[in-house]
Amino acid sequence: MKHLLKQYFGYDDFRPGQKKLIDSIMAGRDVLGIMPTGAGKSICYQIPALAMQGTTIVVSPLISLMKDQVTALNQAGVHAAYINSSLTESQISMAFANAKKNTYKIIYIAPERLDTQQFYDYSETADVTLVAVDEAHCVSQWGQDFRPGYLNVAAFVTRLEEKGKRPVLCAFTATATKEVKDDMVCMLGLRDPNILVTGFDRENLYFAVERPKDKMEAALRYVTGHEGESGIIYCNTRNGVEDVCEMLVAHGVPAAKYHAGMSNQERMENQDDFLYDRKPVIVATNAFGMGIDKSNVRYVLHYNMPQSMENYYQEAGRAGRDGGAAHCVLLYAPKDTATNRFLLENKETKKEITEEERKEILERDLQRLKVMTFYSTTKECLRKYILNYFGETTHMDCHNCGNCDADFEKHDVTQLGRQVVNCVYEVRQRFGINMILGVLRGSKNAKIIRYGFDRLKTYGKLADYAEPTLRQVIDALLQEEILIQTADQYPVLCLGKGYAKLKDEEFLLMIKTEVRKNVTGDGAGGEAEKAGGNGQAKGALGKSALDDAGFALFEKLRQKRLALAKEERVPPYIVFSDKALIDMCQKHPRTLEEMLGVSGVGASKLEKYGKVFLEVILEAKKGT
C-alpha cells in the first residue's frame, strides 16, 4: 500500500487513520471513516481501488468535486472518469461504453445516476469490487445537506449482492454527530462496519480569534500582508461579501466573490478564477466551499463568527489541505452572536415539520451558537477547545494557536463576578446583558430610571470598570454556567446551575487580558511579537520554512507551475501542491531520482514534470 501511495501520489507515509481504514477495506470489511476536512479521505478509498481487482464506484455529491478528483487522478496516472449532468448524453453513453470495457479503475458518479437504466445495464456485467460514498452524511435527513439520491446506494449494493458479488462498501464524512452516524450506517446499508473516527487535529493549522476595532481594516491588513497567497474570506451575509470584496478590490487586491445571489455563470467564473490562481482571494458566504479541493489555500479568514463549531471547522479546514502551514483566523464581534441568532430564528424550515419540531431544531441551533460564542471568547487553548468539542479529550495546550501564543495576564475577578450576579438577582433575572451593564456602571438611561433601577444596591457599583472588562466577566460567568443566557428573542441573564460555585470560599473567577500583537496586525497591547509567533507578514507559508533564496526559488517554481497549468487547463495545485514546491526548495534535488524524494512527486508526475522543474531548480542554483 505504501508503494502505491508513493508511486501514484508521491507521499511517503500515510496520515493518522488512513492506514487502518485501508487495511479494513482490503480485508473485505465495510467501513465508515469520520475524518475532518482536509485529513485525506480520498486516499482511503483510492489506494484500495488501485490495489483491488475490478472497478471502484465513488458516489459523490458535487460536479466540481468529481471533476477535480478525476483530473487529479488522471494526472497521477490512474484511469478515472466521472458521470454526471455536466456531460452531454453522448458523452455519458461513451463513458458507459468505456466503462463496460473496463477502461476505468475508478468511476465517480452522482447518486441520482445509480437509479438510471444506463447504470443498471452497466452494473449487469461490471466487476464492481468497491463502492465508496463520499460526503456520506448527505444520506441523513438530520443534516442540512440531505440528498435523496443517496438513498439509491443501498439498493445498488443489494442488486450486486443478489448477483452474488457484493462489493465492499465504504463511506466517508466529516460529520460526527450520533444521529447522522446512525443514519449513515442504516440508510447506506453498511454491514457491521468498522467505524473509525480519526484524529480531528489538523496540526498544520494555526487558529486565532481576534476582536479588531475595525474588521474591514483588519481584513485588509491581513490580506495585503499575505500577498500572493491563496485565501478564503467567509462572511455571514451576501451584503457582507459585496462590501468586503469591493473594499479589497478598491485597494488593488485581486479578489473574487461568491454567494447564492449571483448567477450560476458568474459564480462558476469566479470560482474558477480562484481555483486557477488568477485571483488568489475569494470572499464568500458559506454557499462556497463544499467540494472545493484547492490544496494551497493558505488562510481562511472568518469575517463573522459562523453559527456552529461544525460549520467553523469545516470551513476553516479548507486551509492547508496540502499539509503546509496555514492560518484560520476568526474576526469576532459580540454583534455576530445577535446577527446569527436573528438568522437562525428566521431560517426557512421545511414546510412539513411541526411547530414543536421547529422549536426543537431552533433550540439545538442556539445551543450550537453558544458553543461557537464560547470558542470566540475563550482565552484557553483554541485547539484544545475544538478537539474537546469533537470528543477528543486533551489536557495539553497546543502552543500553536493565537491564545497559546498570546501573553495573558490573569486577573482574579471573583468580586466583580459576585456583583454581576447580585445585579442579575436584583433585576429578578428578567433583563439582558446591556441592562445589567447599564445598572452596574450607573447609567442614566431613561429605561433604568423608569424602572427605578437607580435605587438598586448594585447601581453604579462597578462604575469604575470599562464595559469590555465587564463583558469579559460576564463571558467568564457564562462559561462557568454561573449565569445562563436564555434562548429567547430578547435573551435574558439568569442564574445557572454553576451558581453554587460562588458559595465555595476557594472558588476564583479568572479572566485573562492579553498583551499581544494579533495575526492581523491589530496590536491589542503593543508588545513585540513572541519569537516563533506565526503572525509575521510573510505569512503562514513563509520565512520560517524558507530563507530568502528559498523563497525566490519558490516564486520561480510557482510561475512555472502556473504556466504549465495554463497550458494544460488544470488548476495549478493539480500540477503540484505548494507543499511539494516548498519541499523542492528545501531539498534542492539535483537529479530525477532525487526529485522522486520530494513529497507529492510520484512516478507519473515525475515523468510529466520532473525535468521541467528540475531545470528551474538547477538554473537557480547556478545563479547563487
Q: Can you give the binding site for ligand ADP, defined by CB under 6 A?
A: 11, 13-15, 18, 35, 37-43, 293, 295, 321-323, 577
Nearer to ligand ADP, 42 or 534 (CB): 42
Q: How far is CA 32 from CA 82, 144, 188, 314, in A?
A: 23, 20, 10, 18
Q: How far apart are alpha carbons 427 and 78 in whole angstroms?
A: 69
Nearer of residues 43 and 366 to ligand ADP, judged by Cβ: 43
Alpha carbon distances (Å) from 335 to 22, 341, 373, 434, 440: 45, 10, 11, 12, 21
Q: Which is nearer to ligand ADP, 211 or 605 (CB)?
A: 605
Instruction: For ligand ADP, give the closer residue by CB, 26 or 361.
Output: 26
The strand ranges marked E within 244-354 are 255-258, 281-284, 297-302, 326-331
d(CA 369, CA 98) in angstroms, rounded, equals: 49
Question: What is the nearest approach in angstroms of ligand ADP to the Cβ of residue 616?
Answer: 22
Closest separation in Å from C-beta 249 to ligand ADP:
29
- Continuous H helices in 378-511: 382-389, 402-405, 414-426, 433-440, 446-451, 467-479
C-alpha angle 480-483-485 in degrees, rounded to nearest 5:
115
Distance of CA 288 to the CA centre of its chain: 11
Element (H or E) spanning 316, and its range? helix 309-316
Beta carbon nearer to ligand ADP, 131 or 241: 131
Nearest to 200 by CA among 173, 181, 180: 173
CB of residue 39 to ligand ADP, shortest distance in Å: 4
Residue 15 Cβ vs ligand ADP, minimum distance, rounded to whole Å: 4
Question: Nearer Cβ to ligand ADP, position 210 or 322?
Answer: 322
Between 52 and 601, whose beta carbon lies closer to ligand ADP?
601
Question: How near is the Cβ of 142 to ligand ADP at its closest, in Å?
Answer: 21
Residue 338 CA to residue 304 CA, distance in Å, equals 11
Strand order through the sheet with 106-109: 80-83, 106-109, 55-59, 128-133, 168-173, 31-34, 194-197
**Residue with smallest beta-carbon separation from ligand ADP:** 40
User: Which residue number, 322 or 336, has a Cβ lying nearer to ligand ADP?
Assistant: 322
Q: What is the 8-class DSSP label of residue 115?
A: G
Q: How far is the CB of 600 from ligand ADP (least distance, A)?
A: 7
Smallest separation (angstroms) from ligand ADP to the CB of 295: 4
- In whole angstroms, give the CA distance from residue 546 to residue 541: 9
80 and 108 in contact (C-beta within 8 Å)? yes
> By C-beta, is 273 or 322 nearer to ligand ADP?
322
Q: Are 599 and 580 in contact (CB under 8 A)?
A: yes
178: left (phi over 0), alpha (psi -120 to 50) or beta: alpha
- Smallest gap from Cβ 203 to ligand ADP, in A, equals 12
CB 107 to ligand ADP: min, Å: 18
Number of C-beta neighbours around residue 139 at 10 A: 31
Smaller CB separation from ligand ADP, 254 or 597: 597
Residue placing its CB nearer to ligand ADP in the complex, 60 or 520: 60
CB of 312 vs ligand ADP, minimal distance in Å: 15
SS3 at position 172: strand
How far CA 16 is from CA of 5, 35, 44, 202, 535, in Å, comes to: 14, 10, 11, 11, 28
The answer to whether 595 and 583 have CB atoms below 8 angstroms apart is: no
The smaller minimum CB distance to ligand ADP, of residues 15 and 530, is found at 15
Give dist(CA 424, CA 248) in Å, integer. 44
* CB 9, min distance to ligand ADP, A: 6
The sign of the torsion formed by the CA atoms of 69, 130, 140, 181 equals negative
Q: State which residue, 424 or 545, has the beta carbon closest to ligand ADP.
A: 545
How many helices (H) and strands (E) the chain has is answered by: 26, 17
CB of 46 to ligand ADP, least distance (A): 8
Nearer to ligand ADP among residue 42 and residue 129 (C-beta) = 42
Min dist CB 110 to ligand ADP, Å, is 17
Using left for φ > 0, alpha for ψ between -120 and 50, and beta otherwise, residue 323 falls in: left
Residue 333 CB coordination number (10 Å): 17
Identity of the residue, 18 or 230, whose beta carbon is nearer to ligand ADP in the bound complex:
18
Count other C-beta atoms under 10 Å from residue 469's C-beta.
Answer: 15
Nearest approach in angstroms of CB 172 to ligand ADP is 7
Smallest distance, ligand ADP to C-beta of residue 541, A: 15
Question: Cβ–Cβ contacts within 10 Å for residue 501, how many?
Answer: 18
